[in-house]
Amino acid sequence: MARAPTHQTIDPALDAAALLRRVGFFGLFVVVPMAAQVARRATVILVPICVILLILASAIDGRNRPIRPVALAMVRSPAFLAGLLVLGWAALSLVWTPFLGPATERLLNLAATILLTLAGYLALPDRMRSANLYLLPVGVTAAAVMAIVAGLFGDALLRSAPDDESALNRDLILLALLVWPAVAWLRSRGRDVEALVTLVLVGGALVLSPNVTQLLALAVGAIAFALGSVRLHLGMRIVAILAAGLLVASPLLPFVARPIGIALAGPVAPAVLTIKAWQKVVTTEPVRLVTGHGFETTRRGRVVGLLPANAPTTVLFELWYELGVVGALAAAFALQAAIRRSGRESSALGPGALAAFAAAFAIACVGVGLTVLWWITALSVTVLAFVAIERGQFRTRRPKASLLKAANDA
């Protein structure tokens, strides 16, 4: 008996949306970590393009979650409201900042990056295909191997411009962040061996780097990951309290850290002199701790002599100096609320999210700067990666995919 012919409906629009989404994730998770090693502005240029592709894909096939309820839930979130307060206070501080033009431009760039990240968040599909998510560990692994080759065989292979060393350092910071969503995704699929290999390769790349910031961030993230794997809710509370507590108490830190630094390294050690400059700022202008000096004053202030040249670049100093007690308290509340909430979304991804929070905070404390655009963009990529892998947890069966050849969802 002849079988009836089957007719498969082909929708070119859906195929186009799937292609755009695949290209967007490939660029975000594979191209960006690799390109950032050879071009300083690769992250800032490529990430918006990739996010726009994701937005176009969702505009075509409509597979994202309904925007209205998601947006309403977002604006009711205490962490989101506290973040808006920080941004609003930064905008208000333009009234008293001595660098109105540069500060306004910087704030507009920051707001545009945040809005683009929110748009990308709203555009992510309600259910993510595993094939798109396996691109994340593939990209992180490839970028780590590329960095290892650069570290072992010299600059001539991967660097040609004078600022390429800075590009590599930025990329290694990105790797120190992206390794945690990659590990979390692989472990949620039961691929612990691949997760360990990815983590080891990233660790090897960071060990070969002369900059200790990334390695410190990886170590802090690993400790948080181990704690979250054993007692997730306890780990969330500890990291949230430590991070928020350091932000709130940062004006007191130089008075505690300087005697310790003198005892360990001597009074003229560069780090001790930096702490001394921090202490001097706190004692000479205590009233300005209430309002802050205004947005963008730390970066520009070093150039014109408003701040000592060796003033700290850590977020603990810059947040208080620019935005005062209002900005610091709001940022501390937003951070601790976000950390606590991350453990409620998915217990399988909780340790990875906790590790990413800890690593990012460690990098900010060591000294990246408060509003450096590439750093904010790197955080945006990490956030989108975690949201994407959280929406890939709907499967009840683990896919039979390898790290190098991911299978599509059934």
How many angstroms separate the Cα of 399 from the Cα of each of 30, 343, 410?
21, 24, 9
- Cα separation, 339 vs 147, whole angstroms: 30
> Which two three-digit tokens encode residue 409?
């969802």
Helix (H) or strand (E) holding 307: none
Per-residue pLDDT of the chain (410 residues; tens, 9 = 90+): 445 454 455 678 888 989 999 999 999 999 999 998 888 888 899 999 999 999 999 999 888 888 888 888 888 888 999 999 999 999 999 999 999 999 999 999 999 999 999 999 999 998 898 999 999 999 999 999 999 988 887 655 444 444 455 677 888 999 999 999 999 999 999 899 999 999 999 999 999 887 888 899 999 999 999 999 999 989 999 999 999 999 999 999 999 988 998 888 888 888 888 888 888 888 888 888 888 999 989 888 888 888 888 888 889 999 999 999 999 999 999 999 999 887 666 677 889 999 999 999 999 998 777 778 899 999 999 999 999 999 888 654 444 444 444 444 43
Amino acid at 332: A
Look at residues 216, 235, 189 and name the one whose alpha carbon lies nearest to residue 400: 189
Amino acid at 122: L
Q: Phi and psi for 160 in degrees, rounded to 5?
A: -135, -25
